[in-house]
Amino acid sequence: MKHSNIYHTARKVLIYTMLTIVAVIVLIPFYYLILASFTDTTRLFTDGLTLVPRWDRMGFFNYARTVTDREGAYWAWYKNSIQIAVLFTAGGLFLTSMVGYSLATYRFRGRTFIFILVLIVMMIPIEILMLPLYNLTVKWRIINTKAGVILPFMVAGNAIFFFRQFSTSLPVDLMDAGRIDGATEYGIYFRIMVPLMKPAFGAMTILLAMMSWNMFVWPLIVLRENWNFTIPIGLASLLTPYGNNYALLIPGAVLAVVPVVIVFLFNQKSFISGLASGGVKG
């Protein structure tokens, strides 16, 4: 009996030690970034950055540069990112939910075929479509615009897939009840079904908003001018072979992620179900 007690305690200590080590490793990049954002970046590479803050060299001066550097372009990027996230998410939610709902609740010719097409879209790397899509945005004159960033990927396959899976559990009897009451098919969807799909909308709001907030490859190609950049593209533009503008890069990176982390801390459930449903990549 005593032997097994020691064994259990040792095991517990081992597990908690491991969890704590992993947690520290996970948090260090955040800590390091925030620490660097308050440190004089000109001395960052000569003096190095110790894990213990050196208060005498710290201050808000880097953050002040997000306003002054490049005539305040950083906040223009911020505004662009927010606008794109709102439009992308709103449009995406509206369109993908309809498609997913229809695929799950109606029996119509071609239903399986369309669902297979959705799966194929999810399985094909968008990177191979970059070139013709780029040509398309040039032809449509939406290169270097928000529409160019948003339109090609707004009807996202993974969101359709999620809405479709969720909608299979909707009470189909309500559709017949609605029809008897004289509601149209669209009335049934918007008035009866959409309210029932609230949890799915919550999860997908997070997925689509995060997708667009962190989107990288496609905006890198479409957005051509400094003032139209989103945050990731703007930050990437500061990484040049001729010396990196760390004084703007580091606080810029912090300001891009800290609000998201704060929102996450208050909505953990929907974040986890949203992001885990689609696999976010940027």
- 63 makes contact with other proteins (CB under 8 A): no
- 142 makes contact with other proteins (CB under 8 A): no
Stretch that binds other proteins, among 53-61, 69-77, 195-203, 272-280 (CB under 8 A): 272-280
Of 55, 241, 243, 266, the residue at the interface with other proteins (CB under 8 A) is 241
- 190 makes contact with other proteins (CB under 8 A): no
Give CA–CA dist 233/73, Å, rounded.
Answer: 12
Q: How far is the CB of 44 from other proteins (least distance, A)?
A: 7
Of 84, 118, 149, 223, the residue at the interface with other proteins (CB under 8 A) is 118
Alpha carbon distance, N-terminus to C-terminus of the chain? 53
Q: What angle (nearest 5°) sits at the alpha carbon of residue 76, between those of residues 258 and 60? A: 50
- 124 makes contact with other proteins (CB under 8 A): yes
Q: How far is the CB of 15 from other proteins (least distance, A)?
A: 6
Residues contacting 189, CB < 8 A, separation 6+: 98, 101
Stretch that binds other proteins, among 16-24, 54-62, 70-78, 194-202 (CB under 8 A): 16-24
- 177 makes contact with other proteins (CB under 8 A): no
Q: How far is the CB of 221 from other proteins (least distance, A)?
A: 6
Residues contacting 88, CB < 8 A, separation 6+: 149, 150, 153, 154, 208, 209, 211, 212
Of 10, 21, 23, 67, the residue at the interface with other proteins (CB under 8 A) is 23
Residues 212-231 within binding reach of other proteins (CB under 8 A): 213-214, 216-217, 221, 231
Q: How far is the CB of 252 from other proteins (least distance, A)?
A: 8
- 62 makes contact with other proteins (CB under 8 A): no
- 127 makes contact with other proteins (CB under 8 A): yes
Q: How far is the CB of 227 from other proteins (least distance, A)?
A: 18
Residues contacting 163, CB < 8 A, separation 6+: 96, 97, 99, 100, 101, 104, 197, 200, 204
Q: How far is the CB of 146 from other proteins (least distance, A)?
A: 16
